[in-house]
Chains A and B, each alone.
Chain A
Amino acid sequence: MSPSELSERVADALSYARKRGASQAEASASNNTGLTLRVRMREVETLESHQDHSLGVTVYRGKRRGSASTSDLSSGAVRETVDKALSLARFAAEDEYAGLADADRMATEFPDLDLHHPWDLEAEQAMDLALECEAAALDLDPRISNSEGAGVDTGESAFAYGNSHGFLQGGRSSNHSLSCVVLGEQDGQMERDYDFSVARAPEELTPVKEVGESAAERTIRRLGARKISSTKAPVLFAPRVARSLIGHFCAAVSGRALYNRASFLLDSLDKPVFADCVNLNERPHLPRGLASHAYDGEGVATADRDLVCGGVLKGYFLGSYSARKLGMATTGNAGGAHNLFLESTGQSWENLLAEMGEGLVVTEMMGQGANTVTGDYSRGAAGYWVRDGAVEHAVHEITVAGNLKDMFRNIAAIGSDVDRRGGIYTGSILIEDLSIAGA
């Protein structure tokens, strides 16, 4: 289904909602198609073809709210869905903060974010790519003993959003990815690691051979891992896991956590929450960005902004509801953050290892272990022990713990090795003095 067809369904849902007595309404619809091919041990394992669509509607009867969604986009089903939302709204309570975002905040400019680059990928071609990717991993080193496979994914979405302010927009986007997971074995110990690439445009994907070789190299580096004794030491979070630290920050300064007072960063606006070297900004209109949006989940215009300047918190992530609850204005983040950039303090990965001297590099984390209410942080980890700025041996079966408030204040450096494979762009993060639990 095309964006214009989806827009028609959305418009139909909105006009029907108004006709049936909704004072306000909003609706969104999407249609996704795609192909996933996985190979394992040099043979095709799965070939999956995807096709799905859905439509969701939220209606207001004055200050009462109801929502419903359906995977059936026929006119009859859409109208039934609206009726269901309206009937549920009767049972919701009056909520003085409920309603659409203010009309004057609706986006009026729609820059081309260059998000749609379909990949006319045939199964045969996907198979060749995946096989080449896995082969590069399997053939790298005799210690690579087994595989969980390599995969190629391609997907396209069409979407539309509209509300009863008269806002109605649709668009298209694409997402493509490659991944590889292999196992290594040494002295009876098995380890596995992975690598992947993801992009809006197929030509921006990392070459399959590099992805495969990198997965194998990572696996080999984990062989011989051992537990270390409990200690306190500096910890360098590699970019693929450093991203999660910024994720915890986002959770703590999101509207719902703040108005429920369920955040370790309550009342922190204009106060230092990070070390002075930390600058974080949001760039929603980044061409081909994985989290780029011209407008948020309520139609509100998005714009570049600074969230953290010199360690000082300059903004929250708010939608219109949480903004009203807090007596503030929406920041255009209904639905989340749009491309966050943590500025590097300039050091390369090697420089960071040298700066750390002796300590722990974390390359993989396990479990949730971050409490947004208190900031208490304790997660399973694996990586390497570093001495004199060089990797000494692999480490596993340990935890890294502290309190996020202190951890953010103790960030010593942010590497230039930026990982661009997600909505949070960050290099490695070096944090002084964390508790490591092991033997």
Chain B
Amino acid sequence: MNRISDPSTFEVQQQALALARGSLLESADLGDSQLDRALGALLRPGVDWGDLYFSEYSSESWVLEDGIVKTASHDRGRGMSARAVSGEKSGFAYSDDLDPATLLSAARTAGAIARGGGRGRIELRREGASRRLYPAGDPGDGYSDASRVELLHALDREARAADTRVRQVIASLSIARNLMLVCSSDGRLAADDRPLVRLGVTVLLEQNGEVRHGVAGWGGRLPLTDLVAADSPGEYAREAVRQAVVNLDAQPAPAGEEIVVLGPGWPGVLLHEAVGHGLEGDFNRKGVSAFAGRIGEAVATDQCTVVDDGSMPGRRGSLEIDDEGTPTGRTVLIENGVLAGYMQDRLNAGLMGVRPTGNGRRESYAHLPMPRMTNTFMMPGPHDPEEIIRSVKKGVYAKNFGGGQVDITSGKFVFSASEAYRIENGRLGAPLRDATLIGDGPTVLTRVSMVGSDLALDPGVGVCGKDGQTVPVGVGMPTIRVDGITFGGTA
């Protein structure tokens, strides 16, 4: 079998590939002939295509509590998996032993899926990445263990200095690197060296026996030195304290439909839940999504354009290539209110007769790829954010959110406001206690009456779970006004 890397890939890919071959293949005595044998075992009669996936990860985390760094931990591992695809069927086997015999056995196990015979061969296209979205190498390099400790102390100091009522600060740092290589049966061999760093701070503040907390964090695919240089720890420590202070005065949130203005940035979790999951290719191929078969239909007001973009430099949800070797890019999901496209992996794109969009992701070698989001956000609109708030006579301004969830079949979704305020006569009023918002994905964006000019992406701490697999993602949004969504408070 001819296995050369794509001629259109550039130097970046070549570097990652050389590194991954050395680290993942050569060190385990896996040469071209072993890969050939494994692909041969995988491609039994009836198997349309398949791939072998190898990865090696390491991650380190540090936690400060009570003003001291209490624990540091390190995790590392490597493994491989084999996948055989036959029509809609996938056979899959993985192991964290990397050696020729285990690889061959995994390939045979995966290939056995095709017992029943397959369909026609799926046409695969070759594409190459030509960018550098993040630097190769250990993202912790240049930042000594002692400096990591000091960084957490800085978060602690800044938070305690911000308000004398701060009783506890929990600060955390995580530094991870994942080197992957995928070798598919069409001859594609591609690799990616992925850094991921994250800093977080949780503050507990006590006044008259009442305790409130505030949370802030930031991160991305970049070296720790760059992350810390771009944003000062003090900013995030003070942000966590600010949220906790706001929560001290929070009043019961309303129960019922409200006009809601969502602030820029993290509130974009609305898009992730309301439309993002429902536009993943697998759900639409199977017809189980509330959005299935609706391409070309209006699902939002014409101010709304929503995209998923995995090719943004340094972003938490970004990837040079997805876990099937397809370069990431920008996929327009909703264009001026009209449903424009789905996010695809190779399996679902092939079955639906469209191109893979670079959204085939997996949590690790121990998991099958699926269509997943990368960085999902709404493009900016014409309105000044202040004007949007001023336009509301009575409603709610929701500035910060926790997580969310969606039932892609009924389209109902939730997301939880962790910082919100009443709007009365166009001005912000009292802060509100935590409440969940619930809405209907296919119709909520038809109630977006104003889109702001202030597009912001979240600070880089999001994770998304689907079918038991967790992957890092990004979200973003400008300020928007939604004319009616159920606010789940008690008042």
Contacts and interface: CB of A to CB of B under 8 A. Distances in A.
A400 B489 CA distance: 8
A52 interface: yes
A192 B88 contact: no
Most A-side CB within 10 Å, residue of B77, B211, B487, B488: B488
Contacts of B403: 367-368
A374 B434 contact: yes
A380 B77 contact: no
Nearest to B73: A67
B490 A402 contact: yes
Interface of B: 60, 65-66, 68-79, 88-97, 106, 109-110, 112-113, 116, 145-146, 148-149, 167-168, 170, 204, 206, 211-213, 247, 253-257, 286-288, 290, 366, 368, 402-407, 409-410, 412-416, 433-440, 486-491
A367 B148 contact: no
Contact of B416 (A71, A95, A378): A378
A46 B90 contact: yes
Which 3 A-B residue pairs are closest in the complex by CB-CB distance?
A: A399-B488, A71-B77, A380-B414
A44 interface: yes
Given A49-B94, A382-B412, A70 B213 contact: no
B490 A369 contact: no
Contacts of B170: 260
A355 B69 CA distance: 53
Contact of B257 (A44, A65, A81, A439): A439
Contacts of A44: 89, 113, 116
Contact of A191 (B68, B110, B409): B409
Interface residues of A, number: 77
B410 A366 contact: no
A88 B145 contact: yes
B416 to A, nearest CB: 5
B92 A47 contact: yes
Q: Is the interface of A mostly helix, strand, loop or mixed?
A: strand
Interface in A287-301: none
Contact of A69 (B75, B149, B167): B75
Q: Is the interface of B mostly helix, strand, loop or mixed?
A: strand
Interface stretch (A18-26, A330-338, A430-438): A430-438
22 contacts: A43-B89, A45-B90, A46-B92, A47-B89, A49-B94, A92-B69, A183-B288, A190-B290, A191-B410, A225-B410, A229-B256, A230-B256, A261-B204, A262-B211, A366-B407, A379-B414, A380-B412, A396-B410, A397-B438, A401-B436, A401-B490, A437-B489
Contacts of B66: 95
Contacts of B486: 227, 397-399, 437-439
A378 B434 contact: yes
A61 interface: no
B360 to A, nearest CB: 15
Interface in A407-439: 435-439
Given A397-B438, A399-B435, 17 more contacts: A40-B88, A48-B93, A48-B94, A49-B92, A49-B109, A54-B77, A67-B72, A91-B69, A92-B71, A148-B286, A227-B486, A261-B204, A366-B414, A374-B247, A397-B412, A399-B437, A403-B490
Contacts of B255: 230, 399, 401, 435-437
B288 A148 contact: yes
A40 B146 contact: no
Contacts of A369: 402, 414, 416, 434, 436, 488
A201 B117 CA distance: 34
A168 interface: no
B288 A192 contact: yes
A73 to B, nearest CB: 9
Given A50-B94, A71-B77, A369-B436, A261 B257 contact: no
B488 A378 contact: yes
Nearest to A80: B76
A437 B487 contact: yes
A401 B410 contact: no
A355 to B, nearest CB: 24
Contacts of A400: 488
A368 B95 CA distance: 33
Given A262-B213, A378-B435, A373 B204 contact: yes
A284 interface: no
A72 B490 contact: no
Nearest to A438: B486
Contact of B88 (A45, A230, A380, A398): A45
Contacts of A50: 94, 366
B15 to A, nearest CB: 25
Contacts of B287: 146
Contacts of B71: 65-67, 92
Nearest to B169: A260
A186 interface: no
A340 to B, nearest CB: 24
Contacts of A48: 91-94, 368
